[in-house]
Amino acid sequence: GSQLQLEDTAPRIVEHPTDLLVSKGEPATLSCKAEGRPSPAVEWYKDGERVETDREDPRSHRTLLPGGSLFFLRILHGRRGKPDEGVYVCVARNYLGEATSRNASLEVAGE
């Protein structure tokens, strides 16, 4: 029988992050799921800058989940700054191209 060849495909985002309103100190998850072949690598950007996760910095409070979502152990927010507040996008890449999710804003409640 003829073998069905699986074509390599460029990434596409199948689950986009949505806007979040989170209390400070609470955990939060920004969803992102991408499909493609080979499986795309996912990176997150906040306000245009790449988000560092525990892969780069083991002390980071942000974890990239296996599916591509971004998990915050707790939302950091202090008098000196709002390191987690901003507009996030997730970008999925493989050798055929990249896909960018819709923007999702994360806001910290209770100001």
| Pairing of the two strands 104-109 and 20-23 | parallel
pLDDT for residue 22: 96
Please report whether residue 4 resides in a domain: no
In terms of Cβ atoms closer than 10 Å to its own Cβ (0-12, 13-18, 19+), residue 84 is buried
20-54 per-position pLDDT tens digit: 999 999 999 999 999 999 999 999 999 999 999 99
49-95 per-position pLDDT tens digit: 999 999 889 999 999 999 999 999 999 988 888 899 999 999 999 99
Please report whether residue 17 resides in a domain: yes
Please report whether residue 47 resides in a domain: yes
CATH number for 56: 2.60.40.10
pLDDT for residue 3: 72
Question: pTM of the predicted model, to two decimals?
Answer: 0.90
Residue numbers of the domain that contains 85: 10-108
Q: How many domains does the chain have?
A: 1
pLDDT for residue 111: 62
Please report whether residue 80 resides in a domain: yes
